[in-house]
């Protein structure tokens, strides 16, 4: 059985963040649908520490150290491309990073599949946080790529092959979560979809106390 993982940026103290003014549409940029000149010239907008992954300010825009892309190509990973970057950090230029472009695709996120969980309040006396655990999609639509995006989102999903590469490289600031364990806020999922929120609340009430 194929296992999938969602990769997300993990914020670490002092991590370098670069501007993303070049990405007029982060979604198109990440999908490789925006024409840009390479190397992509970017400037520091915050932080100073160079970890394995650099946040590009805009949601979904990430730079990885080139050793990551070297490993992906060595293992013949599919579904990605890279755009070389030239980063101005104070009085020097850093050329060891490239932007991740995701070419792989899959569709049909199933917002009804998964377990609804009441996690209780984050702070004493606060409102209870209710989540849906599990990120599921129609695997029949998956193009077979090792790295792919889900639907019209910036959810980056990878196969176990890629997850193992990330693990072997000991990438410092990237989180890999089994899609069956990915948690999402039910109110965010059900935005403008009252029938979905009603379904979630029904699932929650039907659970034994």
What pLDDT, on a 0 to 100 scale, did the predictor assign at position 57? 82
pLDDT digits (tens, 9 = 90+) for 38-92: 999 898 889 999 999 999 887 678 999 999 999 999 999 999 999 999 998 888 8
Same domain, 126 and 65: no
What pLDDT, on a 0 to 100 scale, did the predictor assign at position 208? 77
Number of domains in the chain: 2
Q: Is residue 125 part of a domain?
A: yes
Q: How confident is the model at residue 23 (pLDDT cuts 50, 70, 90)?
A: low
Q: pTM of the entire structure?
A: 0.92
Same domain, 81 and 114: no
Q: Residue 97 is part of which domain span?
A: 12-103
| Contact assessment for residue 45 and residue 18, using Cβ atoms and an 8 Å cutoff | yes
CB crowding 102-138: b at 16 or more within 10 Å, else e: bebbbeebebeebebbeeeeeeeeeeeebbbebbbbe
- For residue 53, give the nearest of 18, 104, 21 by alpha carbon: 18
pLDDT digits (tens, 9 = 90+) for 97-148: 999 999 999 999 999 999 999 998 888 888 889 999 999 999 999 999 999 9
57, with CB counted inside 10 A (0-12, 13-18, 19+), is: middle
Out of 73, 103, 133, a domain closes at 103
């Amino acid at each position: 059985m194929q296992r999938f993982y969602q990769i997300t940026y993990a914020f670490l103290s002092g991590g370098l963040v670069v501007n993303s003014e070049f990405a007029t549409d982060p979604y198109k940029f990440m999908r490789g649908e925006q024409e840009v000149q390479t190397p992509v010239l970017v400037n520091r907008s915050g932080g100073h520490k160079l970890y394995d992954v650099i946040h590009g300010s805009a949601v979904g825009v990430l730079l990885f150290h080139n050793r990551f892309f070297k490993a992906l190509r060595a293992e013949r990973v599919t579904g990605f491309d890279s755009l070389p970057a030239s980063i101005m950090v104070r009085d020097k230029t850093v050329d060891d990073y490239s932007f991740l472009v995701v070419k792989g695709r899959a569709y049909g996120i199933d917002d009804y599949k998964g377990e609804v969980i009441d996690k209780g309040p984050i702070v004493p006396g606060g409102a209870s946080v209710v989540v849906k655990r599990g990120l599921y999609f129609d695997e029949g639509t998956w193009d077979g790529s090792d790295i792919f995006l889900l639907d019209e989102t910036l959810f980056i999903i990878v196969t176990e092959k890629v997850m193992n590469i990330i693990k072997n490289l000991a990438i410092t600031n990237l989180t890999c979560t089994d899609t069956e364990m990915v948690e999402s806020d039910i109110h965010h999922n059900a935005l403008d979809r009252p029938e979905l929120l009603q379904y979630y609340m029904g699932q929650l009430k039907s659970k034994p106390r």
